[in-house]
Amino acid sequence: MKRKALALATAVLCSQANVVNALEVGVILDAYHKSETTALGGRTEGFGSSHSELSLSQDVANFATAHMALVGEWNEQESDLQLEEAYLQSSALPGGLNVTAGRFLADIGYLNATHSHSDNFSERPLLYRAFLGGHYFDDGIGVSWLAPTDRYWRLSAGAFTGDEFGEEGSESSIGTWTLSTEFGDDIGNNASWQMGVSYLSNKTQTSGHHEDEEDHDDEHEEHDHEEHDHAGHAHGAEFQGEKLYLTDLVWKWAPQGNNRQQQVKLAAEYAYVDDIYGAEFDHYDGWYLSGVYQFDENWATGIRHGRVNLAEEHEHDGEHEWEASRLTETSVMLSWMPTHTQRLRLEYKHQDADHMEGTDNAITFHYQVGFGAHAAHSF
């Protein structure tokens, strides 16, 4: 018994000395040149940096992790520094539960909770830029639960202040709340999939379309101009509704599951925004499909095609009218990873629109390099 206790004590000491409580510091530097500014956010024309990041991570004893990420953006018009993440997350509570509290990325959709430095394209898909401001993070609390089933099944829920969702703060104390679930499994030795459905309830505005309509319209026009100037820097979702539904499907293939050599990654997401704020219109929606083929250790190529169906305000014989607008975007990219921590990407983007301004075609050169510790990526 004594011996056992001793062995246990040494084991615990050893593991604590080596694993726990090391502060992990990571830096991601992002630099790009884009030939033209394109519609609906994303990077602006010229040289800049869109998502450079300093992250700190620290295990708190064995029960939680503290994480912080400071994100910088700069381009020829402006620069901006923002705290995107600052949270405490439990390591494992009883019953497969975990709690996250602080500022963190909402656990909705496929891409939202992933860090954009691991994206395969230089900008987020249209639906993320239109409905979630690129990626939605906020102050709040989240709970996730892994079901004890053989097949992966996870549920998660979050409640947020909503202050980071729109351009302005939230009008209620719990501005948004989210609910999501995901499933996934392998298919044979070479492929695996994951599917998710999520919902976001947005109470940051109280009944948008009934606000002083005239004032609002004037503001909107001004706002429109600003939006084009600040196209690269759209914090907050531009197109909002009371309800946002998201569904995603991801399929990955690598011979023998050895994705160091080769991998095909297909992803599709669909978003539906209901009970729209600020526009007299029934609903918005959008989708994208993307395929990326990493054909050896250093090279990958991919294509993404997506669309958003929105509404644009027009003046017609002195009357303001809301009209369906549509934006389609196709991106083609080739990326080279000279080392595990660096990536150089060349991307061509083509936009097409009905009743929407600011569309263009653009070529982007994008370089990214990481230093220090780097959090493991989820699927």
Partner 1 sequence: MLRIASKIFALSLFALVNTAQALTIFTCEPEWAALSKELAPGAKVFSATHAYQDPHYIEARPSLISKIAKADLVICSGAGLESGWLPALQKRAANRKIVNGADGMLYLSQFIETIEKHETEFFSTKHVHPKGNPHFHLDPDRLSKLAVVISQRLQIIDSGSRLIYQQALAKWQIKWQQSLQQWKQQAAKLKGQPVVVQHTSFSYLINWIGMDAIADLEPKPGVPPTMAHAQSLIEEARQKQPVAILTNWYQNDRAARWLSDKTEIKHLNLPATVDLKGDINNLQRLFDHLLTQLQEAQ
Residues near partner 1 (CB under 8 A)? 4, 7-8, 11-12, 14-16, 18-20, 25, 59, 61-63, 65, 89-94, 96-98, 144-146, 148-154, 182-186, 192-194, 252, 254, 256-261, 296-298, 338-342, 369, 371-372, 375-379
* Residue with Cβ nearer partner 1 (119 or 313): 119
CB of 245 to partner 1, least distance (A): 22
CB of 92 to partner 1, least distance (A): 4
* Residue with Cβ nearer partner 1 (90 or 359): 90
Residue 143 and residue 181: Cα distance in Å, rounded?
Answer: 12
CB of 168 to partner 1, least distance (A): 33
* Residue with Cβ nearer partner 1 (192 or 335): 192
CB of 17 to partner 1, least distance (A): 8
* Residue with Cβ nearer partner 1 (63 or 76): 63
CB of 160 to partner 1, least distance (A): 20
* Residue with Cβ nearer partner 1 (207 or 339): 339
Place of tokens 């070529």: 363
* Residue with Cβ nearer partner 1 (122 or 144): 144
Q: Which tokens in the block code for residue 300?
A: 């990958």
CB of 189 to partner 1, least distance (A): 8
CB of 260 to partner 1, least distance (A): 4
* Residue with Cβ nearer partner 1 (143 or 159): 143
